[in-house]
Amino acid sequence: MLEACVFGTILCGFFGIILKKSLVLKIISMDVMSTGVIAYYVLVASRDGLFTPILSDISTEKYADPVPQAVILTAIVIGFSIQALMLVGVMKLAQDNPTLETSEIEQNNTL
């Protein structure tokens, strides 16, 4: 059930990127899709166990894999920087165009 919710989040973000006309909504949709992908990796990393792999006397507990967690921290930082860069690009487009609709921007730049 949790996997279905995660895949639903990814699909909502994907269809938002395709169907929305506003550049800001496309960026938000990309962030939603990125959040779904990150949630999927966290779900995969926690399948074996939920405990942190630290040194202790108890060895019967199953641990969560720390490698996907490190990859996800990197993905969060990279996703945030890409989102900031895209928002700066949208701000530059907003200075030259009265709207942020993709069809209007294409018409203004092809004339």
In this prediction, residue 36 carries a pLDDT of: 94
In this prediction, residue 63 carries a pLDDT of: 72
Summarised one tens digit per residue, pLDDT across range 52-108 is 666 666 666 677 777 777 888 899 999 999 999 999 999 998 888 888 888 888 887
Phi, psi of 50 (to 5 degrees): -115, 0
Which has more pLDDT, 47 or 6?
6
Residue 39 has pLDDT above 80, yes or no: yes
**Per-domain boundaries in the chain:** 2-101
What is the model's pTM? 0.77
Could you give the 3-state DSSP secondary structure of residue 24?
Answer: helix
Contacts of 99 (CB under 8 A, 6+ apart): 105
Architecture of domain 2-101: Orthogonal Bundle (1.10)
